[in-house]
Chain A
Amino acid sequence: MDARTPVAATEPARRRHVALLVLFLLLVALPAIAQGIGQPFLIATFTRFVIYAIAAVSLDLILGIGGLTSFGHAAWFGLGGYVVAIAAFHVQDGSTLLGWGGSTEALVVWPLAVVVTALVALPIGALSLRTSGIHFIMITLAFAQMLFYLFVSVKFYGGDDGLSMQRRNTLAGFDLRGATAFYYVCLACLVAWTALCAAIVRSRFGMVLSGCRQSERRLSALGYPVYRYKLVAFVLAAAGAALAGALWANAARFVSPDMLAWVKSGELMVMVILGGTGTLYGPIVGAFALLGVEQLLSGWTEHWMLILGPLLVLFVVFARRGLWGLVGGRS
């Protein structure tokens, strides 16, 4: 037959499956490990890693799979967080928002965060996707900054200072105060979201999205209205980031405009690139790596960015498929 490599070579695929299984088992065992080595604070640390991983996977859906370099992804993360914090604020305050007294039930406010964010992302995506390339990067950044300044200026919800939550949401009446319980809830969200994204990538929709990245011109010639597909992907990715933001608000019991800042968008991009653009699982590893290195180095020197910067350069130059590419060995 033909010596050229088939698209889905089986050997690296098996290695990726093994790596994924190992990663999953480690995350499941983490609370036990943390307790075992007498470092229970690691549970809270990894809760945050897991939350960022959700946001990074959602960014990879449009950036890595769809080839849409959105530089405003943190806006959806922050918006999701604010929805949860504002709902809790009204419960604490006794005031109402458009006649609604707020809620602290996760089954109400988390889906609400996702839906509200998706509804905001829809018109912003519809406008942004009229452009492409560098213009798309700039317009997504501009919209994110607009949302950032919106929350800075709304003094009622804390403005610059942010907004605190007295306690975490309850999940179907169940208390999420315990670090381990909350960790597992976040981990379940990561697994569910990543599995959903993986299914989408394999589906007919995913094939079209991947085609958009490779040649939009070809897709149009095949009769696909590419704009609509990109818009749906944009909104889906925003929804995933909103879920992460809702979890983050609970983890920190605090939201602030910093969650929407362009620096945060940049961090999410770094996680995706470090982990492996377009690999979907790589950004999880990327999030852990970036936050882990940050945690380790910042305990040692406050100039940790000086070390992380060159590391990133090395990755971009020598490991195009990121950390996940080192595992999967895909070209």
Chain B
Amino acid sequence: MSAAELDLPHHLGRELLSTMRSLMVLGQLMTQSAGEEQVLGLAVTAVPSLASCRVVSVEPATSAPRPSRLAAQLASVGAAGGSIELADEPWAWAYPLSSATGPLGYLVVAAAVEPSGEEQFLLRALAQQTGAALANRRLHDQENATAAELSKVNDRLRGTVDALQRSMEIHTRLTTVAVSGEGRDGIARAVHELTGLPVAIEDRYGNLRAWAGPHRPDPYPKDPPARREQLIRRAQRAVRPIRDGGRVVALAHPQGDVLGMILLVDQLGTAGEQELMALEHGATILAMELARVRSLAESELRIRRDLVDELLTGTDEESALSRAAALGYDLQRSHRVLVVEGKGRCDDGDVLFHAVRHAARDETAGTLMMARGSQVVLLADVEADWERLRRAIVRELGDGRARVGVGERCEHIADFPRSYHQAKLGLRLLPIAEWNDKVVRFDDLGVYRLLAGIEDTDEVERLVQRWIGTLLDYDRQRGSDLVRTLSHYLDRGGSYEATATALIVHRNTLKYRLQRIRQITGLELADPETCFNLKLATRAWQTLSVLRS
């Protein structure tokens, strides 16, 4: 609306133009203002400068029902605004704070006398300006909010990308270690480089296996077994690495089998998400490495076991030698087959095997061995002190029991089955001959060895029947113990005292039994020739028992 349209004199038109410029400046200030309150405040403050009236209120436009009378009137005047009725106010008007989407509110003014046409024009222009500034402000705030949200999303995205990149770096570094065969030392070094913290790798029992970084403790502290197991159980239950005092711990447990542990030494508690990520990746690579090492060890153990098995059951020389060569083992040395029986404090079958392995390693007695039933067979490649070896096994068993049968020397591949047989024979004689736990060398078996070597056991049987056959029948029928009594009596040179003690019977019982032996056999025990034949017959009977078993 121009001055001409308002039908104003020329000087008033200039005045109006000047006031319009004021409005424009105010509009610009509103546009740049910091908030809606500031915009509305400027509008309210400017009103007295533009028209002879006062501001009643600035009412927001809202779709919700408004209880007041004024609100009801505002609802009825709509987007164009208009006259309203207020108590004690001769003239009152609501000017819409216009925007493209409709009025954002109303500037409600009142006066004792209706303002002039140009004043009303300026008030309407001010309200429009205010509406535009408010709309602009809201748009701007909305843009700011959107930009802030976008910025937050971008930050999160950047964080995610950074974490992924870091994860890739960690993965790449540790994968390189895994494929380069640097082993546990390489893994510890890589995790140390990635975290900047000292790194230790321990076996399941807490023994240090690798260290990277400064301040390596010497000696390395080791938890008591109970505490160690407690820590492992806690780490198994946790999804992520756990803190244990000044350390952060992750298990290397492929398929649930705990093979070791990797840990960050973090006394100050500085390890964050990236360090934990590096530790977790490190634990995964360590698990792979330990599983690989164990698999290799198991494979070698299996090949060794297969070789021993073949040697004992009899194999062609070429096959055995090629297998031994694959293991880097020289089979073309003199060997003896040792068979070990034993028992530790617990009945774990592996315990005897590990006891023999450790004792044989310490005594450098041999490395090829296998478990066969309750026995362990060792192929000894040296002439060791066998009793010393046996005592070492007992120690390894934790003060258990052990007895060892030693076969004859094997100079050829084909000798192994025989040496094995001899070692077993020696072991079987132990209980029958009522010997204590000891080493039985087949070489030292004397008459037993002679008897065991006779191929025609019928002849031996006839010897047994000729001299103690009636006693054996008697014992069988009556459940008595006359052959054993006779054997002990002859072994102790006819001493009543020693024999009664060995058999744990009263002297009179022994006398009675010997009398029964004399009656049943019709033989005189004092006769040296008879004594010799009876002694030979009891040995032969024991040998036959072993051979038959």
Chains A and B are bound partners: no
| A interface list, Cβ under 8 A from B | none
